[in-house]
Each structure stands twice: as structure tokens, then as C-alpha cells.
């Protein structure tokens, strides 16, 4: 009898252990109820796409002054200004590269000659009467590039200019528009101009300060115009 009771107790313990193991396995399987391999793969694919989109739309990082383009004279002075606009990159770039809008945000522009109602494309030419370095000047522009840069995240308008009466390039102007998240973008204006032909350092500093102020004012007006449109 004692032996029979001992065997019975062992059987009960063994049965309880098996039931505990079943409950443990059941809990592990319940972590993902009803999930199929198809659902898991779809979730993984969505996560990868979300990561790529976040990486692509991250704000651009700009460090230091950009290298001088190869076409620019080694003696040219360089300035660079950048703003952020609460509109899409495509809309802002279309606005910047249509000369008829220059009257709105380059307030010193008093005349334009050429196909000013069309967006600029490579090879197009126009004459702009404006103020440069505090002086009334007429600039003849030739468009070098206008469109998407390699890589597909930036759009640029690059122009070479010379003052009327001169037959050599004296101005190198580039507008770069880059998209940001939430339908925003940055607008960057790079300008190189010949300044060292002026005899004194004081004259060169005065001209550079005047050009700096003109560039900054133009971009601030451009941003204000778009923000005003947003407010309407």
C-alpha cells in the first residue's frame, strides 16, 4: 500500500509539471495572437520604409563656407546667405527662377529685358537694371544651370553676369533650394563678385558690406512674401 501511494504521488507531481509546462508555452504563444508570417513581413517592410523616409527628409547640414566653384575667378569675393521658408521647395524654386517676380523681392530691380515671364532655363539671357554694391548698374545674365541637382534633393539656379560695357564675367550667382519636412525649404544665395580691382581695402570692405546687405534684404523680403501668402 505504501508503495502504491508513493507511485500515485509521483504521478500527480508529473501531471502537474506537464500542465505547468503547457501553461508556460501557451503564454509564450499568446504574445502575438493571430499574427501570420505575412503580417510580420508587412510590418517589417513598413518600418524600413518609415526609416528611409525619415532619413531622406532630415534637414540639410551645412558646415563652413562652400568651396569656390571652378568657374569663379580666384580673385573674387564670396558671400553666402540662407533662410527657411514655410512653403514647398518646388513652389519656391519656381518663384525664384521666374524673373518677373524679381520686382517683388529684389526691391532694387528697376528694369528687366528678356523673356522675364518664363522660368529660366540653361542658355537663356536677360538684362537686369538694379543696384549692386550701392551703385545703379545694368547686369547681363546668362543662365548656366536651372533645375534639379544630381541626387534629387536640391534645385539650383546658377547664373554668370557681367556689367554692361564689360565683356568679361564679373558675377557668379547661385540660388539653391532644398526641401525640408512639413512643406518647408531652405533658400541659399551664393554670390561671388570681383572686388579686388578697387584700389583701397576700405573701398573693398564698403562694397562687400553693401552687397551683403542687399543679399540679406532680398531673401528676407522673399520669405516675408511667402509668409504673407500663408497668412491669407
pLDDT in tens, 131-166: 999 999 999 999 999 999 887 789 999 999 999 888
Hunting for cell 557681367 — which residue is that? 162
DSSP 8-state assignment for residue 133: T
Handedness of CA 208, 211, 217, 221 (dihedral sign): negative
**Residues counted in the chain:** 232
Cα dihedral 159→70→65→221 (10° resolution)? 0
How far apart are alpha carbons 1 and 173 in whole angstroms?
A: 105
- What residues does 147 pair with on adjacent strands? 156
pTM: 0.70
**d(C-alpha 162, C-alpha 31), whole Å:** 72
Whether 227 has a pLDDT exceeding 50, the answer reads yes
Percent of the chain whose pLDDT exceeds 70? 69
Residue 214 or 65, more confident: 214
DSSP 57: T
pLDDT, mean of residues 113-125? 95
Q: Average model confidence (pLDDT) for the chain? A: 81
DSSP label at residue 136:
E
pLDDT in tens, 40-66: 566 665 555 444 333 333 333 333 455
Q: Which residues touch 39 (CB under 8 Å, ≥6 apart)?
A: none
Mean pLDDT of 184-208: 91
Amino acid at each position: 500500500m505504501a508503495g502504491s501511494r508513493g507511485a500515485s504521488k509521483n504521478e500527480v507531481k508529473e501531471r502537474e509539471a506537464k500542465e505547468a509546462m503547457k501553461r508556460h508555452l501557451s503564454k509564450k504563444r499568446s504574445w502575438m495572437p493571430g499574427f501570420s508570417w505575412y503580417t510580420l513581413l508587412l510590418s517589417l517592410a513598413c518600418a524600413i520604409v518609415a526609416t528611409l523616409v525619415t532619413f531622406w527628409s532630415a534637414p540639410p547640414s551645412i558646415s563652413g563656407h562652400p568651396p569656390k566653384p571652378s568657374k569663379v575667378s580666384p580673385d573674387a569675393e564670396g558671400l553666402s546667405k540662407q533662410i527657411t521658408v514655410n512653403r514647398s521647395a518646388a513652389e519656391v524654386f519656381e518663384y525664384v527662377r521666374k524673373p518677373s517676380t524679381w520686382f517683388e523681392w529684389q526691391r532694387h530691380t528697376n528694369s528687366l529685358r528678356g523673356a522675364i515671364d518664363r522660368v529660366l532655363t540653361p542658355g537663356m539671357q536677360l538684362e537686369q537694371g538694379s543696384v549692386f554694391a550701392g551703385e545703379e548698374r545694368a547686369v547681363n545674365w546668362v543662365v548656366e544651370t536651372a533645375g534639379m541637382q544630381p541626387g534629387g534633393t536640391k534645385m539650383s539656379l546658377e547664373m554668370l553676369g557681367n556689367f554692361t560695357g564689360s565683356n568679361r564675367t564679373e558675377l557668379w550667382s547661385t540660388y539653391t533650394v532644398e526641401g525640408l519636412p512639413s512643406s518647408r525649404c531652405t533658400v541659399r544665395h551664393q554670390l561671388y563678385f570681383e572686388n579686388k580691382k578697387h584700389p583701397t581695402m576700405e573701398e573693398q570692405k564698403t562694397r562687400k558690406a553693401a552687397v551683403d546687405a542687399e543679399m540679406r534684404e532680398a531673401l528676407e523680403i522673399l520669405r516675408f512674401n511667402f509668409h504673407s501668402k500663408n497668412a491669407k
